[in-house]
Structure 1
Amino acid sequence: MGSDFSKDDCSQYPTMDERNLGNLRSYLCNYNPPEGCVGGINILLFGISRSGKSSIINTFLSALDPQGMTITCVPIGRNSTSLTPELHSFKPDLDVAKYPVIPENVIHGVALTFDVNTIDSITEEQMNLFKELQTIVAQKYIYRVVIGTKFDLLGIQEYDHKRIYEYKPLQDKFTKLSEVTGMEKRSMFVVSNKWKGDKIEMINCILTLSALENMIRNIDKFLKVMM
């Protein structure tokens, strides 16, 4: 099994213990957005239908508060292969925008979502849309990350989830995503909504909250500079 792992191309090393889980929850639950952010930080999830957007939100909610509420769905596109939301609507600062920017709906970060098990089947047209969106987001100086979902279906044993970022098949997926989207692999994370037992639950909570903390901390730094 060890040969399946490589640290040469791994940039995520979350500490897998209860103390780190507590620190992550404390930071995120007590986070106060910079002055000028009305209602909090807004993060846009952008992905193909059934890429796991609802699962990501519910995993975030469950990891932050295991006894809390979850959601049943998120807004989706017009068909099973569409991107959510439509790419051209992601230009809210245009004079002709349907939903012009107001303080409450400013987008502070974008998470491009992919099912890591179906990346190889995404069409060239869809990948070009992701690349175009990434370019638009970069031009607007909005922080962006990639979140891969359903990594538990890649074949890695549950006891090795704590080393998921060293898993060679996942590194290969991230390499491909980096090539087609132009994003760096250090801005790519994985989440899973599969919970089995206290140990695995803790690991998946830490993986999830580490991705969310990364987004929040980087968005916060940028907003404080801009404001």
Structure 2
Amino acid sequence: MEYIFQITQYDTDDLEDEVAAALEKQLEIYSRKRFLAMWRFVDRNNSRRASQKVIKKRTILRNIYGILLTVMGIFLLVPGLIDPKELLLPLIAGIISMIIGVGCIWPWRRKSNRKFHKIAEELLSGIRKSLDETSDTSLLVRFTEEGMSLLNNSMIAYQDFHTIIDAKNIFFLVWLDKVTILQKKDLVEESQEAFLAFLEEMTGLQRIIVNSGIS
């Protein structure tokens, strides 16, 4: 079985909300794996009717949480998102280098929304620029039983996949420390549901559905 995406230009305005939502969801997944105790506390106390004492503890926890993630080096290096010399890989960016220091993002929801949208805007603009600059008019990403074949013919094994995010118009696929963003409209012939079922079977992962905006 083979699933092929024939890459077309990305509409940055239409996709920005979805990429921002996917980035936030991936950050939550990443952090939950590394800070289990803190997330258990957040989940346990994440109720609307929280006492002042609980709110105070939650604020302290979030501050500590942000500092830890910042120290771990989760920050955005916009110039490094897309290397102009790597025109055959416009869909790939280091997921770790895409996310700005969470110490500036997580504690304040309104500020968080702006930050994730800024990251999404920069990422999509970089992809759009790279596609504009390449002379190859037949850019394909293939999924076979062997793995995901990228634009430079490199093969990514399914065992290296970490996350499958399903948004309204895109598939946001995280593998190793990178991400591939594919537009659903670029899937050739086969159905989107069949592709997702195939990907889930090959990777052993379950899709995560996100809405078109920061939830």
Same fold per superposition (TM over 0.5): no
Q: TM-score, normalised by structure 2?
A: 0.29
Name the larger-Rg structure.
2
Greater strand share, structure number: 2
Q: TM-score, normalised by structure 1?
A: 0.28
